[in-house]
Amino acid sequence: MSSKQNNTQQFSDYLKDNYNKIKSAFNKSNLWDEDVYHNTIIKVYDQIDKGLEVNSIKDYFFIYVKFELMKRTSTGETKYTARKFNELPDNFNIMDEDENREEYYKKIDRLFEIISEEVNNNFDDGDADIYLIYKRLKSNNKGFTTKYMAELLNENHNKIRLIISKINKFVTSNQRIQYEYNKLNS
């Protein structure tokens, strides 16, 4: 079995083994939408099938769900009202059982909260959302690029690249963010 087949099989197994948990998590968040769920499955499966390497199937899947929900709410394609990316719940409260991992993820979530806060306070909503979505997708997918992000958003690649670059410079020079980042490794 090739690596690509193995990855798509892992994704299929994840969905099969966790369907009830996923649906329950959506329902707890009042965000169950069959169209979003099925579109996300198709898009994530296609990306994995094309050779995309994903560190955590669960995290990537739920980040993509958030992306789909945000995209659909902004165009009125779903019953939910438009929300900012960072207002949608991470992983819809599906928790890992490993405590050490859970503690590490709490630190990462705290770091991302601070990054979100700082970016939202210093950049307009559109740029902030693009950056935050990109960073979440990139963190779970080694092959995710600004070019792919531009294609997803149907935007000019240079525009997306400049937004990401500008905000990256801000993030790497922000003392509050760097303090939290250093705590992550302590």
% of the chain at pLDDT higher than 90: 14
Note down the domain range covering 176. 96-186
Q: d(Cα 65, Cα 83) in Å, to the nearest integer?
A: 13
Q: Give per-residue pLDDT as tens, 39-94.
A: 888 888 888 888 777 777 777 777 777 777 777 666 666 555 545 545 555 544 44
Among the candidates 64, 94, 124, a domain finishes at 94
CA nearest neighbour of 119 among 110, 111, 128: 128
The pLDDT of residue 92: 47
Domain count of the chain? 2
Among the candidates 47, 79, 94, a domain finishes at 94
Q: What is the pTM of this model?
A: 0.49
Tell me the longest C-alpha to C-alpha distance in the chain: 48
Do 75 and 106 sit in the same domain of this protein? no
Q: Give per-residue pLDDT as tens, 6-27.
A: 778 888 888 888 877 777 766 6
What one-character DSSP code corresponds to residue 79? S
SS (H, E, C) 120-175: HHHCCHHHHHHHHHHHHHHHCECCCCHHHHHHHHCCCHHHHHHHHHHHHHHHHHCH
Per-residue pLDDT for 3 more than 50? yes
Do 8 and 34 sit in the same domain of this protein? yes
Residue 96 pLDDT class (50, 70, 90 cuts):
very low
Do 14 and 86 sit in the same domain of this protein? yes
Do 145 and 169 sit in the same domain of this protein? yes
Do 64 and 107 sit in the same domain of this protein? no
CB 48 within 8 A of CB 7: yes
